[in-house]
Structure 1
């Protein structure tokens, strides 16, 4: 279709006026959702000039009872009140109490049986594990303190308020039964190896821990129900761990008595490992571990660890451990990457675990802050992945014959990257996990994706790329919650708290801000809030402040709603300028006439009608049968020349350039505002990428029309060609229209057929 010159130019002067309801605009500011900036947290997203945080220091003596699978402990806590407030009481977390038979977690657990339920289903209805803390005493200076246990929280009742700037020292003695992870699950616990009567203990949440008191929530004493994880203040730890004499221990902090618990050969190997930054060095090799696990020694040893400015403490202990380590250069400082694993983990763990730890430290340090601690440990467990300062527990075990599937291999590397990465979020950038899971899991999953892609160019990352979140985004909205939902209320935990925020950040990096601006802002956030307690508002504001970009529309759409992305090319029209040149337009009209005569009747008449009347009878013809309106006397050409001469140089240039104008009407069918990316293919086989910022939706968030001029003939247009916006319906993303191919399952097996992994098949 062609339009005259003035009609095309007029498009530039026509304004679009859309009536906007500011209360409903997707571009409205987040002011009403975010807290008002104050002296503690600025409007730029940084800690304010009166920002404070509390400090909790611990001195502990812990005994691991290998015969009864029990932890006995004594701790002395020094709590420093750096807030401007006088505190009438102190709150501590008793997370082990969620395993008590009478816990709220147990009481609110849903259950159902049917006529087809098994005895196992019925057995699950009965909670037999005697879990939970047993508090034996709470004292200050030898005097009993008044306290009250409220499910998973404990309140210390103070005789007089703890004033600003004061410290309070008290002690607690307790014990609890360690849970069997294989039987009842859990983030920590033990795994039992029946054939040799040995255990691997991965122990966390094992002591009463101070809750956070801050300017946002006061005391964060929300009950631990199982999903919302942990919110903790920073402090210094001295921990004495008494374990069986032949156990090897890995823990948060720096070992203080290596000469008492390690052989001279093991200490020498550790020194060598620090210098070897290419390959892991065996501290305890497989043969030594095998000998150790087969000969149970008498007696016990005490391992002493110290850690400064950490928010938690965890440890692992077993006589089965193989131990390897290597040095990692972090901006000129050597950090030790370590792994502890049994023979059951090999050959997978020996090849990949410590290398994955080292890789994670390098990549995360590049995108956030330099890793500040002296080591990072990966410990083998049967199936879980869980994180603590300087140490994490990771599943991923080969088959008994030593073979493994590709999924097992990449699963191991991914879980190690993820759990070691948690050292940065939330162990250092210390967000409130009890309230906002996405602030640690989502941010960490995003950087995990970056690290995975630097591990292997063909790495099968599970989360990160936009197209991988499409099935969730397109799912039933009744099965979704906004990302900004409290941890305990989330539906589809993995998609909501891990996948969707990680995808959002990847889109923000690749499509909205660009890598340079995003990486700078993300690093600013990490540096601002390292060893502090950020909130969602601090993250949102910092990313905007450091990038000079108003992102309220982005946070609102991705984090505060369950809208999805579905942008449609509702209408596409192609225009060309009418040059008014008689020779050019005569040729174009002839082409147009032939193109328009496509009706089936015209086509068939070409064959069925041998001759028309006009063709056979001269008397039926007159002037108009041979008339060509453009073939006139020379005066017409002169008039055209005069017309061109009166145009401006720029208009003359446009008239002769032969531009193709493509007018596209875009419709926002999913409700989520996103930039518009087009791949335009030309008749000569070349293509161009057009990127339109999300602000194009301003003043009309449902639909807009835009004209794109091109110097060449356009034959095809594709919307979101690189799958970077998570568009849920691509069938309306093409011009000319075409259907997006989809897969369907021909049949489904009720049970997955057991088959050897590829390594086993190759051996066979």
Structure 2
């Protein structure tokens, strides 16, 4: 009986205690917002700290390319030799190769998935590769067996390519017609003094084989860009002698293709911080602009440890250049080529100035620019980037020319140096690049041009649309009207919030720079970025990655009440959105003094309402949430309390 009485008493006490806890915890449990959202554990290839693991590997591809431009038929014919090394731990029965010029055919997947009314990625349909003499030679033999499916070729080997160092030489001849409309990435532009050829995706190239999905064979449809292996390039381009050719690599035979005057001007530009003409506007189209007046001329270029090369050719080019000061005693050469239609003191005459400033800023701020040349090409292309070369619209001027130039050269860091997969994760190059563009624009010429990234609230209109899509939407699946937000603006604003609102500049910069240096010339995945930022910054940011990068919810914080409490004040803040965020409050007292308060994001772990005790003997006149207007809060009506 005594035992029963004691047990009953304990039971009643526990029940009462449990009831009290339940009564106190009527708030919803928000822990799911803070939990990890993907498989982020490390392995021997990629560590949990966001670094390449002890057995990390990636394959490589070196290219020898020869191409001839026929300006009568607008065709390019050439040959490629690819020296491919299999550093992976498994043998390979075949090699996948991209044939991206095959996008320009009537029956390509890209053509067939383009809306009837067209879009930015509409392209000509009378192109495509003509291939012959295809072979893959290993130590054991040669194979010519291949299968082409849309923009991809599967090239079978005579025997499996050995793991951890197996090598194969792939050769083939190719020919294609240069499209006029090249999906806003390449093409032809007719100007008064001739045709401007901007040439990219122009040779068969190896697809990436990695430790995440194996062969990356996503078709080239349009919006999705590129994912490439690194290697060395030896490029020879033969063009009519009256044309000027520029290319990603370093010119190997300047004495053969440049006049003595141009060589002198080049040497002058290498030492000048001011723009120097190599071909003046008055010389365009005249014999003085060329080392030969007839026939063909071969330009030879080399580039090391790059994922691609692009080039341009025309007899209409004005050509100017200036020295880039890259830090650590390293210099390079910023260059621009453009027609007379683009000339002007507020237009392309400033292109080299813009290019120089952009590359110098990123080089000194994030990672030293690895290439000697940075060449801006005026074209019919709105804006497209390649290692060391950018194609920008020939009618751009003033702030628009700065913006497109700065953006395209910023891509040399993402994804040219940090080699992410653009075809699947455009936010890892477009978003990161748009983010760093904000800081370079702010720094340029004492803020000559405006930047909008520092106003996250400008994103609210998009965030409240019913048909909005998340950052994780594949580019070829995203609504054309949404792609600018999913790939560019929303991820850029996310990084801005992370730096300026959540982590602070020092912690963010340490982590972001470390990420760049850690993954330079490698292939990071999204989880590598998340893990690395968290480990260096020392912060679990799962709630932020999940909410902002892998969700379609919104931020909606507010002040629901401010009331006296035991001689102090009790401030109640609420989270009516789907993304928790730290809270910043500004208290304005009746004597016009102010006090700033920061509340950590963890206040939302146990519910959507939080009471903060403000200890003060002063009278509160006003409380403002997010006083610096940093958050893209979708409801601003509840951000201020007035007495």
TM-score by shorter chain over 0.5: yes
Shift of 1:35: 4.4
Question: With structure 2 as the length reference, what TM-score do the two structures score?
Answer: 0.91
Aligned to 1:187: 185
Aligned to 2:7: none
> Does the CA contact (< 8 Å) of 2:245 and 2:311 recur in 1?
yes
Alignment of 1:8-27 (within 5 A): 18=25, 25-27=32-34
1:281 aligns with 2:276: yes
SS of the residue 1:305 aligns to: strand
Deviations 1:426-482 (A, max 9, x none): 011000111101000000110011111111436322445311211111221xx1222
> Does the CA contact (< 8 Å) of 2:223 and 2:476 recur in 1?
yes
Alignment of 1:325-340 (within 5 A): 325-331=321-327, 332-340=329-337
Shift of 1:139: 2.2
Tell me how far apart the structure 2 counterparts of residues 212 and 427 of structure 1 sit (CA, whole Å): 14
Shift of 1:219: 0.5
> Does the CA contact (< 8 Å) of 2:584 and 2:625 recur in 1?
yes
Aligned to 1:411: 400
Alignment of 1:122-521 (within 5 A): 129-140=125-136, 145-164=144-163, 165-181=165-181, 185-193=183-191, 195-196=192-193, 198-277=194-273, 279-291=274-286, 297-331=293-327, 332-347=329-344, 348-395=346-393, 397=395, 408-455=397-444, 456-457=446-447, 459-476=449-466, 479-491=467-479, 492-521=482-511
SS of the residue 2:517 aligns to: helix
Match of 2:569 among 662, 676, 681: 662
> Does the CA contact (< 8 Å) of 1:292 and 1:319 recur in 2?
no
SS of the residue 1:265 aligns to: helix
1:714 aligns with 2:617: no
Tell me how far apart the structure 2 counterparts of residues 458 and 389 of structure 1 sit (CA, whole Å): 27
SS of the residue 1:488 aligns to: coil
1:82 aligns with 2:64: no
Question: With structure 1 as the length reference, what TM-score do the two structures score?
Answer: 0.77
Q: Which runs of 5+ in 2 are unaligned?
A: 1-20
Aligned to 1:44: 49
Tell me how far apart the structure 2 counterparts of residues 413 and 222 of structure 1 sit (CA, whole Å): 33
Tell me how far apart the structure 2 counterparts of residues 672 and 293 of structure 1 sit (CA, whole Å): 63
Tell me how far apart the structure 1 counterparts of residues 206 and 30 of structure 2 sit (CA, whole Å): 42
User: More helix per residue: 1 or 2?
Assistant: 1
Tell me how far apart the structure 2 counterparts of residues 699 and 373 of structure 1 sit (CA, whole Å): 51
User: More strand per residue: 1 or 2?
Assistant: 2
Deviations 1:162-191 (A, max 9, x none): 01111100211111111113xx64310110
Tell me how far apart the structure 2 counterparts of residues 24 and 676 of structure 1 sit (CA, whole Å): 18
Tell me how far apart the structure 2 counterparts of residues 190 and 568 of structure 1 sit (CA, whole Å): 54
1:495–1:68 Cα change, 3 Å: same
> Does the CA contact (< 8 Å) of 1:101 and 1:127 recur in 2?
no
Alignment of 1:539-578 (within 5 A): 539-575=529-565, 577=567
1:414–1:341 Cα change, 3 Å: same
Tell me how far apart the structure 1 counterparts of residues 25 and 524 of structure 2 sit (CA, whole Å): 38
Tell me how far apart the structure 1 counterparts of residues 250 and 319 of structure 2 sit (CA, whole Å): 16
The alignment covers a number of residue pairs equal to: 611
1:696 aligns with 2:603: yes
Shift of 1:521: 0.5
1:15–1:409 Cα change, 3 Å: farther
Aligned to 1:535: 525
SS of the residue 1:233 aligns to: coil
Aligned CA RMSD, in angstroms, stands at: 2.4
> Does the CA contact (< 8 Å) of 2:570 and 2:613 recur in 1?
yes
Aligned to 1:102: 107
Q: Which runs of 5+ in 1 are unaligned?
A: 1-13, 113-120, 399-407, 578-660, 738-764
Aligned to 2:5: none
> Does the CA contact (< 8 Å) of 2:561 and 2:641 recur in 1?
no
Higher-Rg member (1/2) = 1
Tell me how far apart the structure 1 counterparts of residues 285 and 39 of structure 2 sit (CA, whole Å): 57
> Does the CA contact (< 8 Å) of 2:104 and 2:123 recur in 1?
no
Tell me how far apart the structure 2 counterparts of residues 536 and 485 of structure 1 sit (CA, whole Å): 13
SS of the residue 1:731 aligns to: coil
SS of the residue 1:73 aligns to: strand
1:21–1:47 Cα change, 3 Å: farther
Range 340-349 or range 555-564, more displaced: 340-349
1:709–1:316 Cα change, 3 Å: same
> Does the CA contact (< 8 Å) of 1:280 and 1:355 recur in 2?
yes
SS of the residue 1:275 aligns to: coil
Match of 1:687 among 590, 594, 597: 594
> Does the CA contact (< 8 Å) of 1:464 and 1:502 recur in 2?
no
Aligned to 1:116: none
> Does the CA contact (< 8 Å) of 2:33 and 2:543 recur in 1?
yes
Shift of 1:416: 0.5
Aligned to 2:77: 72
Alignment of 1:640-651 (within 5 A): none
1:17–1:247 Cα change, 3 Å: farther
Range 514-523 or range 711-720, more displaced: 711-720
